[in-house]
């Protein structure tokens, strides 16, 4: 990852950060390593990001946006889906995406897990976006509720075991899909009955 143009951009730095984390792993990646990958001095990176923490948060935000939120927005928009089935498809997608990246992009998933753990603000913003999608789906799908946001949040929290990174090691279990189905069956009724 050499910088191609002569103006260093945030985007280039984030791309180099991802690459370096994939190569060395989360724990072993320093700002110096990222600078080396870009063939610039590490001081240049501090012109774009106030701190290492901010850099990793920006990388995580972008990763979440691209890998998780964008595909979810597609499901949210999908007009072939409706009502409870739409909510289910959305949560199912969320669960599958998390599981997919936990397995197939371990290093960046570890970055996401670590940043989540340390930045309550970032994760709360991210959850806010998902809750927004769920509210949208539920309202459009005629799933009325006295407290749409609270209902949306409840769906998110009731399925936490299947998408929260702290539970990632449980996703290896052969029973995980059946367990999700069973939890979903429980929730489904509550979604139909307006609270």
Partner DNA sequence: CAAATGACAAATTTTATTTTTTGTCAGTTG
Partner DNA sequence: CAACTGACAAAAAATAAAATTTGTCATTTG
Q: Which residues bind DNA (CB under 7 A)?
A: 6-8, 27-28, 30-33, 40-44, 46-47, 50-53
Q: How far is CA 32 from CA 3, 20, 28, 104, 109, in A?
A: 15, 10, 11, 26, 22
> Which does residue 114 bind out of its own copies, DNA, none, counting CB within 5 to 8 angstroms by kind?
none
Size of the site for its own copies (CB under 8 A): 28
Give the integer Cα–Cα distance in Å for 137 and 195: 16
- Asked if 167 is part of the footprint of its own copies (rule: CB under 8 A), the reply reads yes
Q: Which is nearer to DNA, 54 or 179 (CB)?
A: 54
Q: Which is nearer to DNA, 31 or 69 (CB)?
A: 31
Q: Which of residues 172-191 bind its own copies (CB under 8 A)?
A: 178-179, 182-183, 185-191
Q: What is the CB neighbour count within 10 angstroms for residue 12?
A: 19
CA 24 to chain CA centroid, Å, is 22
> Which does residue 130 bind out of DNA, its own copies, none, counting CB within 5 to 8 angstroms by kind?
none
Give the integer Cα–Cα distance in Å for 166 and 168: 6
> Which does residue 58 bind out of DNA, its own copies, none, counting CB within 5 to 8 angstroms by kind?
none
* Residue 37 contacts residue 55 (beta carbons within 8 Å): no
The DSSP 8-state label assigned to residue 68 in this structure reads I
Which residues make up the interface to its own copies (CB under 8 A)? 147, 150-151, 153-155, 157-161, 164, 166-167, 178-179, 182-183, 185-193, 195
């Amino acid at each position: 990852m050499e910088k191609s143009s002569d103006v260093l951009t945030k985007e280039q730095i984030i791309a180099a950060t991802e690459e370096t984390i994939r190569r060395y792993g989360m724990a072993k990646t320093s700002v110096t390593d990222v600078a080396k990958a870009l063939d610039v001095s590490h001081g240049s990176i501090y012109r774009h990001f106030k701190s290492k923490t901010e850099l990793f948060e920006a990388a995580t935000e972008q990763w979440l946006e691209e890998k998780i939120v964008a595909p979810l927005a597609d499901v949210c928009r999908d007009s072939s889906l409706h009502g409870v089935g739409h909510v289910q498809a959305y949560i199912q997608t969320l669960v599958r995406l998390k599981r997919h990246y936990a397995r197939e992009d371990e290093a960046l998933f570890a970055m996401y897990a670590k940043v989540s753990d340390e930045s309550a603000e970032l994760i709360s913003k991210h959850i806010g976006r998902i809750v927004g999608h769920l509210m949208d789906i539920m309202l459009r799908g005629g799933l009325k509720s006295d407290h749409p946001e609270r209902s949306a949040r409840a769906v998110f929290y009731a399925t936490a075991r299947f998408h929260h990174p702290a539970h990632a090691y449980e996703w290896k279990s052969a029973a995980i899909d059946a367990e999700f189905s069973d939890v979903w069956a429980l929730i489904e009724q509550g979604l139909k009955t307006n609270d």
